[in-house]
Structure 1
Amino acid sequence: MRILIAGIGNIFSKDDGCGSYVAQALQGCINGVDIIDFGTGGLQIIDKMLEYDFIIFIDAGDIEKDVQMLEINENALDSDELVQTVLTMSLGSSHGITLDDILTIFKIRKFSGKIIFILCKPYSLDLGLGLTEQCKENAIKTIRELNKFLRENFEIAIDTNKAEKNLEKILEKIT
């Protein structure tokens, strides 16, 4: 099974860059999955994603909790509920392609894999680099939640200490 962790986010809009920063922090901390920081990628990212059986999107999302996981499967790609959920993530304006766009293309291309969203609650989408302190804590929670999920479902572990240190170093360099 080919597994992809896809970091999504606009690093120039503060906490919206959470998914990108987490993907960068995970580099060198996990075996058995591919990790790609897609940033605000456009349509060219779709073909790459379709090569995988399981995709875990990490992004900022309009959610109540600090971190929330949503599981989407091929049956859910047809549901109106999914479209409403994705549309409430407030992602369209700062990304080259929205998650709604990606899921629509997956449906058209008959993607049969599984999709998980791990969403991180943002606190500022203002212009600027780095994460707010609250979102940085949520990014760490995201790494831990991802580790728990991968251990339970695939017996894959993340070196969470190293990932958290990587995140600190990345954020220190840009702020």
Structure 2
Amino acid sequence: MNVLVAGVGNLFLGDDGFGPAVVRRLAASEQPPGVRVADYGIRGMHLAYDLLAGYDRLVLVDALPGRGGPPAEIVVLEISADDLGAGTFDAHGMDPATVLAQVGRLGGTLPPTYVVGCRAVSVSGGIGLTPPVEAAIPAAVDAVRSLVSKGRA
């Protein structure tokens, strides 16, 4: 099974750098065969094209809006192509729903896709996660590892 674990977010916007921080932590340890861990930052088109390689599963790691739950809460979502809108694509941006919708337009098929998200405390300008979001990284790493091992024999 080929799995792509993709961290997305802008590290210059506080907690929006959550996805890259989690994948950096994951990349520091050995991965099971067939698992690729990558920091895409805000390079949406790069992620869309990489998904054309035919992954069996995608685990996207990203910050979520703070509203709708407690700050720094880890949320795991399963999404499909039906959950994605058309959106206006920005080759220099990273709106995950719009980026993932591009995979079909490029001739690929979106694999089973999961989002491991953390409710942001602050996405104001500045480098570095807030302490509650930083403290949520180990739980996110555990959630990603669980999704990576899901369905593996």
Q: Contact between 2:75 and 2:118, CA under 8 Å: does it hold in 1?
A: yes
1:71 offset after TM fit, Å?
1.2
Distance 1:23 1:64, change over 3 A: same
Match of 1:64 in 2: 69
CA distance in 2, matches of 1:120, 1:97: 17
Query: How is 1:116-155 mapped onto 2 (pairs within 5 angstroms)?
Result: 116-154=114-152
What is the TM-score of this pair, normalised by structure 2?
Answer: 0.81
Other structure's SS at 1:106 match: helix
What is the TM-score of this pair, normalised by structure 1?
Answer: 0.71
Query: How is 1:5-154 mapped onto 2 (pairs within 5 angstroms)?
Result: 5-32=5-32, 33-51=35-53, 52-62=55-65, 63-64=68-69, 66-72=73-79, 76-78=80-82, 82-83=83-84, 96-108=93-105, 109-154=107-152
Structure with greater proportional helix content: 1
CA distance in 2, matches of 1:4, 1:37: 11
Distance 1:127 1:20, change over 3 A: same
Output one character per residue of 1:83-141: Cα deviation in whole Å (capped at 9) or x when no partner: 47xx9xxxx9xx71311212211233341521111111110101111111110122221
CA distance in 1, matches of 2:17, 2:52: 23
Query: Which residue identity lines up with residue 98 of structure 1 in the other structure?
Result: D
CA distance in 1, matches of 2:100, 2:149: 26
Query: Which residue identity lines up with residue 61 of structure 1 in the other structure?
Result: L
CA distance in 1, matches of 2:104, 2:74: 26
Aligned length: 142
Distance 1:112 1:138, change over 3 A: same
Query: Which residue identity lines up with residue 15 of structure 1 in the other structure?
Result: D
Q: Contact between 2:40 and 2:46, CA under 8 Å: does it hold in 1?
A: no
Q: Contact between 1:9 and 1:17, CA under 8 Å: does it hold in 2?
A: yes
Distance 1:64 1:153, change over 3 A: farther
Q: Contact between 2:9 and 2:94, CA under 8 Å: does it hold in 1?
A: no
CA distance in 1, matches of 2:110, 2:123: 33
Structure 2 unaligned regions, length at least 5: none
Output one character per residue of 1:46-87: Cα deviation in whole Å (capped at 9) or x when no partner: 111221221100000125250111112xxx313xxx247xx9
Structure 1 unaligned regions, length at least 5: 156-175
Other structure's SS at 2:136 match: helix
